[in-house]
């Protein structure tokens, strides 16, 4: 009897995923029916995203797992009706995408590219002093998980002295690794750039607050592709106005889409991008989903299980 895979990630994504998922399930050797609509008690696996419609998982009595199409799980992890295992998206294509996006924005600020890209005004600015080399610009990456480690390694290969910070102690070759609350102060002190790749949990809200922004080197850049609540917005705006932060590149926000009247849109030293640092790509993500369903059917442990207690 075929297994039933419910696509509950929202109708807007159905066209993008339908053929990729069908092919991935077939290639994984699974006899599966992929559907947007099934009686809850007949569903074996639930594919979820924050745009989906399921709020109550109680009727899905047979579901063996909920597979999140996003890396972040803050919109589902606290749902008290969810008793099934929850897996999040970890996909090499997503990791590569995040690494490329962060490296691009770090190099923009490091090299001061805006001066020449925006300043095409006939004025020859050849007498400006050269920017420091990467090896002279310490950068801190908050979060040393799948994405943070990839980003930190790439920056380290470019020559930046990279400090990484995580909840538990980590050892990553080439990086200065710190952890815990004391480690956070040390990681931020004197950093000329900071990249936030933490999950949104009760413990990470306002990780970058006024006191911690004050630890950065004056004029440091802040890059946030993690989640909006990681930064105290008002403190960031104050630090920008005071020159303590030279520029903020923000991909994620407390409220998305970012409301048109939000000061971030209008601040001359803030760059807003619309949560596109590392979008889930249906082709590769479908293969991750299919592999996890294959594992579930074979009685093997799921990949990328979320720890409900930790919240990520
Ligand atoms: P991950 O593998 O779960 O890694 C999370 C990292 O954060 C780990 O190093 C973890 O520490 C650390 N951490 C968690 N809570 C902490 C705390 N209280 N104090 C210090 N460190 C803490 O996650 P990931 O795959 O790298 O993804 C990170 C986040 O990126 C996601 O949660 C999501 O919000 C965001 N994201 C954004 C986009 C986008 O397009 N903008 C795309 C994908 C993901 P340990 O190592 O000790 O566990």
In this prediction, residue 52 carries a pLDDT of 87
Query: 265: buried, middle or exposed (CB in 10 Å: 19+, 13-18, 0-12)?
Result: exposed
Q: Can 110 be counted among the known catalytic residues?
A: no
Instruction: Locate the ligand 1 atom nearest the alpha carbon of residue 168 and give its number.
Output: 47
The average pLDDT across 41-59 equals: 95
Best mutation site among 185, 199, 224, 273 for ligand 1 pocket (most ligand atoms within 8 Å of CB): 199
> 153: Cβ below 6 Å to ligand 1?
no
Q: Which atom of ligand 1 is nearest to the CA of 89?
A: 25
Q: How far is CA 281 from the centre of its chain?
A: 14
* Ligand 1 site, residue 196, Cβ cutoff 6 A: no
pTM of the predicted model over 0.85: yes
CB 47 within 8 A of CB 5: yes
Look up 153 and say whether it is catalytic.
Answer: no
Question: How confident is residue 101, by pLDDT bands cut at 50, 70 and 90?
Answer: very high
Which three-class secondary structure state does DSSP give residue 66? strand
Q: Is 148 near ligand 1, meaning CB less than 6 Å away?
A: yes
Q: Is 17 in the pocket of ligand 1 (CB under 6 A)?
A: no
Average pLDDT, rounded, for the chain:
97
- Angstrom distance (rounded) from CA 183 to CA 178: 5
């Amino acid at each position: 009897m075929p297994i039933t895979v419910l696509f509950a990630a929202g109708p807007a994504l159905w066209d993008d995923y339908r053929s990729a998922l069908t092919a991935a399930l077939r290639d994984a050797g699974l006899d599966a029916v992929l559907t947007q609509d099934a009686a809850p008690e007949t569903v074996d696996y639930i594919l979820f995203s924050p745009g989906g419609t399921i709020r109550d998982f109680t009727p899905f009595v047979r579901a063996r797992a909920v597979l999140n199409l996003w890396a972040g799980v803050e919109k589902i992890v606290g749902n008290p009706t969810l008793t099934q295992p929850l897996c999040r998206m970890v996909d090499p294509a997503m990791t590569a995408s995040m690494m490329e996006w962060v490296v691009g924005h770090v190099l923009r600020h490091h090299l001061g590219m805006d001066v020449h890209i925006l300043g095409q005004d006939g004025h020859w600015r050849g007498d400006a002093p050269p920017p420091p080399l990467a090896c002279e610009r310490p950068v801190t990456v908050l979060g040393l998980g799948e994405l943070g480690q990839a980003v930190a390694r790439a920056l380290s290969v470019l020559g930046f002295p990279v400090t990484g910070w995580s909840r538990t102690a980590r050892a990553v070759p080439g990086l200065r690794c710190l952890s815990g609350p004391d480690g956070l102060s040390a990681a931020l002190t004197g950093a000329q750039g900071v990249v936030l790749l933490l999950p949104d949990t009760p413990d990470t809200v306002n990780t970058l607050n006024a006191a911690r922004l004050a630890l950065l080197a004056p004029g440091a850049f802040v890059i946030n592709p993690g989640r909006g609540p990681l930064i105290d917005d008002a403190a960031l705006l104050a630090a920008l106005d005071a020159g303590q932060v030279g520029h903020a590149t923000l991909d994620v926000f407390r409220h998305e889409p970012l409301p048109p009247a939000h000061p971030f849109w209008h601040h001359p030293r803030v760059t807003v991008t619309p949560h596109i640092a590392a979008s889930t790509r249906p082709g590769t993500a479908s293969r991750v989903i299919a592999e996890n369903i294959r594992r579930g059917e074979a009685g093997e442990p799921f990949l990328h299980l979320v720890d409900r207690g930790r919240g990520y």
